[in-house]
Amino acid sequence: MSAIDFKLIKTDSSSAARLGSLTTPHGKIDTPIFMPVGTHATVKAMTPEELTEVGAQIILANTYHLYMRPGHELVARMGGLHEFMHWQGPILTDSGGFQVFSLGELRKITEEGVKFQSHLDGSYHFISPETSMEIQAALGGDIIMCFDECPPYPADYAYIAKSMEMTSRWALRCKNVKKRADQALFGIVQGGMFSDLRERSALALQEIGFDGYALGGVSVGEEKELMHEVMGFSAPFLPVDKPRYVMGIGAPEDLIEGINAGFDMFDCVMPTRNARNGMVFTSFGRLNIKGARYAEDRLPIDPECGCYVCKNYSRAYLRHLFKSGEILASRLNTWHNLHYYLSLMAGARQAIAEDRFADFRRDFYAKRETM
Ligand SMILES: NCc1cc(CSc2ccccc2)c2nc(N)[nH]c(=O)c2c1
Ligand SMILES: [Zn+2]
């Protein structure tokens, strides 16, 4: 009995794009879906009620960061993530491996796990598949991820093969100690940019059996074309009847290509991080609000956007807020960017439902050329 139930509603006739529905203990998710990242148990600048208003259905929290501060046991004592952060929808937590590799200072990877120094105070820590499962059980997310190694890019075939085989062994260790029946466990496919290694990784994880399958190790510095190619040849290696999640992807065009390849779930810090830097997304491409050309521009960020920000604020005002370092600048830019990403997903779902995703994808690119 799995903690989640994935229904594949239909596949688009003109592409591998899929329409699905994922039921979790904290509610239902329509797929394809974009998942806002809430690293420190908050999606920066947004309240949970505002997240719901812009269309967020599931959010992410970061195991590594919450383990470091305030500590997973404290979160458990406060009732778990849902109660702690006042978000009653589904939550997905990563396994912490990726952040250790990308954030932790000196680190040592062995078969047992990863020893590393805290990026906060230099203290020494150790995370293994078993401790990652323990931390995620304490945090209480609805979907948890296997502990994996996300290899550096580029890396040679031999390194990627050994790393992928260890990630498969770590995945089995995770499944063997998984405690909570109310949490779903996703395996993470690795294998770098090599299709044979990706296939071997996918098969190894399917032999173990998981509630969903994630594609890790992409968007790690490779060219966009290569990222799209890896998504394209990896999706068919994954089971049809389980959710498929690409980790850390991406820009709007990457989501379009991921859906086109047959993936269902996406996450990225881009809409929230870029918002805080003044970069906002529109149906005709990106716009940097701090540009002098917007100083007296009465238009909304995107005239085609129906969000609260585009209904009420001009580019001139948003530029003024940003240049003045006002907190409201981050809030309004984030609000719009998340609405853009989540509306793009809603549009993709509608297009798949009406068997016209190929047209939707064509229109997406055509609009951006009008800039
Ligand atoms: N840049 C891609 C990326 C991103 C994440 C992080 S996704 C995330 C971030 C915060 C919260 C939840 C999920 C990854 N996580 C794991 N475990 N493995 C990867 O290969 C990988 C690759
Ligand atoms: Zn808007």
> Does 96 belong to an annotated binding site?
yes
Among 12, 211, 267, 302, the active-site one is 267
Q: Is 355 within any annotated ligand binding site?
A: no
Ligand nearest to the CA of 171: 1
Residue ranges of the chain with pLDDT lower than 50?
371
Identify whether 211 is a catalytic site residue: no
Top mutation candidate among 43, 59, 98 for ligand 1, by most atoms within 8 Å of CB: 98
Residue ID of nearest Cα to ligand 1 atom 16: 98
Q: What pLDDT does 103 receive?
A: 72
Residue with tokens 């239902």: 28
Domain covering 5-268 in this structure, CATH number: 3.20.20.105
Q: Is the ipTM of this complex over 0.90?
A: yes
Compute, in angstroms, the gap from residue 99 CA to the centroid of ligand 1: 8
Task: Flag whether 264 is marked binding.
Answer: no
Give me the amino acid identity at 186. F
Q: Is the pTM of this model over 0.90?
A: yes
pLDDT, position 101? 81
Ligand closest to CA 250: 1
C-beta of 148 in contact with ligand 1 (< 6 A): yes
Is-catalytic flag, 121? no
- What's the CA-to-centroid distance between 64 and ligand 2, angstroms? 32
Residue 243 near ligand 1, beta carbon < 6 Å:
no
Residue of 341, 351, 359 lying closest to 19 (CA atoms) = 351
Q: Residue 141: nearest ligand to its CA?
A: 1
The CATH 3.20.20.105 domain(s) of the chain lie at 5-268
DSSP state of 292: G
pLDDT the model gives residue 300: 98
Helix (H, G, I), strand (E, B) or coil at 126: strand
Helix (H, G, I), strand (E, B) or coil at 210: coil
121 C-alpha to ligand 2 centroid (Å): 40
Say if residue 307 carries a ligand binding annotation: yes
| Ligand 1 closest atom vs CA 97 | 17
Task: State residue 112's pLDDT score.
Answer: 97
Write out the two tokens for 187: 């395996």
Tokens 């990403």 belong to: 341
Q: Is the CB of 145 under 6 A from ligand 1?
A: yes
Q: Which residues contact 4 (CB under 8 A, 6 or more apart)?
A: 22, 23, 24, 25, 142, 143, 184, 211, 212, 243
Q: Are 18 and 12 in contact (CB under 8 A)?
A: yes
User: Among candidates 127, 112, 108, which has minimal Cα distance to 66?
Assistant: 127
Q: What is the Cα–Cα distance from 140 to 128, expressed in whole angstroms?
A: 18
pLDDT given for residue 104 in this prediction: 62
Catalytic residue among 94, 211, 254, 264: 94
